Each structure stands twice: as C-alpha cells, then as structure tokens.
Structure 1
Amino acid sequence: MAEVFVCQLIDDLDGKPIDAGLGHEVTFSYQGVDYRIDLRPANADKIEAVFAPYVKVAEKVSSAGKARANTSTAIKMSGSGRSAEQLKAIRDWAAKNGFDVSPRGRIKADIIDAFDSAH
C-alpha cells in the first residue's frame, strides 16, 4: 500500500498554514536568549517592520566565537527574504488585481498582505 505524507508548516504567531516555499524561519536574540519562530510572509514583514528602527540604531555584535548550530537561521532584516520567483509571483498577481507595483524594489506591505490573504 502506498502512503503519502503531507508536511504542513504552521505560522507560530497566528496558527495559519504557510504556503509551500513561503515560510520564514526568523531567529533573534533578546536579553542573551536565542529564539526561533516560523512565520507566513505577512507576519515576517510585520516583525521586520517592528525590528527595523532598533536594528538601524543598534551596534552589530560579531558572532565570531559564538557557536551556531545552523548559520542559515539568522534573521533577515534586509528585504523580504522571499525568492525571486516568489516576488515575481506577488508582482504579477498585484498587477492583475489593480495594485500599483514597480517591477523592482520593495513591495509595499499592504500588497503582500493582500496577496497572502488571496492565497
């Protein structure tokens, strides 16, 4: 008998399913404690917006000498963290649905939220 196992990633903040390939594993440290959370694109944009003013004025601390189990889990504070294919899909969808979106650069959070809600 054949079996098919489906793995569904769930947003840790709101409990909603994350579409395949659109999940964001965000890690951050606060008061010396490391945290990790899986988020949908809309929630990843929200946490990025909240952290941005603090990151802008914070002093970077070298991670040299600090052992990391997985260096790919560092928080992505520049850009949306989405692949070029995902950004193209959002732009294509936005253009077809009456949103004003440029072919390059940052996509507005309200457009990403609308895309996430539609999918």
Structure 2
Amino acid sequence: MAKQVRTIYIDDLTGDQSDDVKTVRFGVDGREYEIDLNAENHDKLTNLLNPYILAARRRGRSAPTARKAAASTSADSATVREWAKQQGFEVSERGRVPANVRASYEKAHAKKN
C-alpha cells in the first residue's frame, strides 16, 4: 500500500495556501518567534525591519557550522581519552579533553602517518 503525505503551509497573516510560504524566525525583547509567510508578506516584513536590522548589532556566534566542521575533523574524544590513559595521562571520563592531551595525541599520530 502506498501512502502520500503532503504538508500544506498557510500564510499566518492572510490564511492563504501557497507554494511559496516559508517559516520566518525572528526575535524581539529576548523572545523568539516564528511565522509562516508567503513571499509578498515576507518582503513586507523584511522591508519593515530592514532599518532596524541595519542599525542593530549581531549577537551570538557568527559561524556555528564552521566550529562543528572543525570539531568533526579532529579525533573522537573517546579515542583520545583511551589513548591518553594508555600513555599515562590523567583524563576525566566526561567533559572536554585537555588541549595538551589532544595535542600530544595528534602529534603522536602525525608521526605514524
């Protein structure tokens, strides 16, 4: 038996169904909001907020994906911990692996490659 599931987005302001409805996230006074808007209403919101956005300061991390990518290229923490224990380093079972331990691990494994 085949099943087809369709998600229909409806503009929260007009109630209209459209293929161009997208969810827009924004924040005001420390609260986060999201609203589904068609292209026309999205443009209206953007034009209304644009002067405030241009004058505002950005908060938070600017590139969280870059940080994740960098972390994923380095060795797995569990692997580093196991190696460190075998080498006589004192490491905790949880939390961040100390930088000097990770550097020693990477140095030792760079020689092998």
Q: TM-score range by the shorter chain?
A: 0.3 to 0.5
**Greater per-residue helix proportion:** 2
TM-score by length of 1: 0.46
Q: Which is greater in Rg?
A: 2
TM-score by length of 2: 0.48
